[in-house]
Each structure stands twice: as structure tokens, then as C-alpha cells.
Amino acid sequence: MTDTTDPPLFDLGNGEQTFPKEIICRLQQLRIVAGFSVQRTDDAVPLAQSLVAGGIGAIELTLRTPVGLQAVQMIAASVPELLIGVGTILTPQQACAARQAGAHFGVSPAMNPRVIQMAQQIGLPFAPGIASPSELDRAIELGCRFVKLFPAEALGGIEYLRSMSAPYQHLGLQYFPLGGIGIENMLDYLREPNVPAIGGSFLVKPQWVKEQDWSAITAQAKQVCDTIQREL
């Protein structure tokens, strides 16, 4: 008799995990991940500290600048209470470098099988970016059960997520939407049962960082966290 039981959530069948359940649970508690890039290493630690002061417990620091990895190292050493994600991982080499720098997890804007496989090999929890059912299907085939939906709003927003995810609902997949999400629509995503957390670049405005206005970042973070706690 053929066993048609779906594989357990997060289980790749060989004992490995693309995204451990304990990290998903922590994201479920935090609900929002602050996404940003760092242009100057001197800004890395005070920026992270200002987010923590406002109630943010997780970040996605992107590798879009030459100092990205160094900024990850500095934050990991100085702000250990943060759950540190590294974004814009485009190559297997970047996945390795992110892990070595102190990343707790990684994400990418696209679905690159080579990056997923490297992340599995080195034990880096990883969520590939998907924008279509075909990409989602390929990610599932590679063992992923937690994926980044990007760019969420440009794709069609919450209605697109509901429509695209419907055929896969029985698999227990979970989604990490980013792109175009702000204070005005974040709760719509967070009310979806298959969305543990969202990514929010609106928490860190580049002008505030340029002016080193850390209090403005803390105030924005506090407003967002208070809204989430009150409304959900």
C-alpha cells in the first residue's frame, strides 16, 4: 500500500531543516521584521539598538551595500538579543558568508536552487523568494515550507497571496511577505493564518539613518509594535 501522507512540516526527509520550527515560532511572537541596508558601519549598532528600544526583536539586514556583512558581524556582537536575518542573498558564497557573520537566518528575493542547497548544507535557515505558483512548487520540491513572498504588494497584495496559496493549503506552508507593506496594510497580512510575520522597511527611513536620528526610529518602531499588540 502506497503511503500518501504529506511530509511533516519543515522536515526535508533527510533530517535537515530549511527553516526550524523554533525560529518560525519566534517570528510568530514578534510579528514584524525590520528590513534595512547599512551604508556606514558606524550606523549599524546604534540603528539596531534604536529598533530594540522600540520593541523590535528581529531584523533583515540586506547585502545591498559593501559593508553589509561587516554590519551583521557588529550587530551580532553588540546586540545579541536580536534575531538577525540577512537579506538579498543571491549566491551560495553569500549564504556561507552570512552564516559566518552571525546570521540566524537568510532570505532572498528569488528562488535560486543553488542557494537553497548551500543553505541546507551549512545549516543556515533560509527562505527563498517566490512570486508565482511555479516558483513555489519548485521551492517545495527543494524542501522549503517557509518562503518569502516578494514583492508582495506589486504582485497583487493580500488577495494574490490568498489565491496563490489556496492550492497548497493542505501542505501547511507559511509565508513571509515583503515589498510595499506599510502601517496602513500590515495588519491585513498579519491576520492571515499562514503569515507568521511580515517584513517592513518602513520602520527605518534612510533620512533618519543619514541624520542619525535614532529617536525617530525608536518612535516609529514603538508605534508599529503597539499597534500590532493592540489590534491582533
Residue 164 CA to residue 197 CA, distance in Å, equals 18
Pull the grid cell for residue 164: 496563490
Residue of 148, 184, 192, 205 with catalytic role: 148
CB 179 within 8 A of CB 151: yes
State how far the Cα of 232 lies from the Cα of 230, in Å rounded to an integer: 6
Q: What's the full length of the chain, in residues? A: 232
With 0-12 / 13-18 / 19 or more C-beta atoms within 10 angstroms meaning exposed / middle / buried, residue 86 is: buried
Rg (CA), the chain: 17
CA 78 – CA 157 distance, rounded (Å): 36
Reply yes or no on whether 60 is catalytic: yes
Q: Please tell me which residue in 60, 141, 192, 231 is annotated as part of the active site.
A: 60
205 is catalytic: no
Q: What share of the chain is helix, strand, coil (3-state, %, to 5)?
A: 50, 15, 35
Query: Rounded to whole angstroms, how far apart are CA atoms 204 and 50?
Result: 10
SS3 206: helix
Q: DSSP state, 185? A: T
CB 60 within 8 A of CB 90: no
Residues assigned a catalytic role: 60, 148
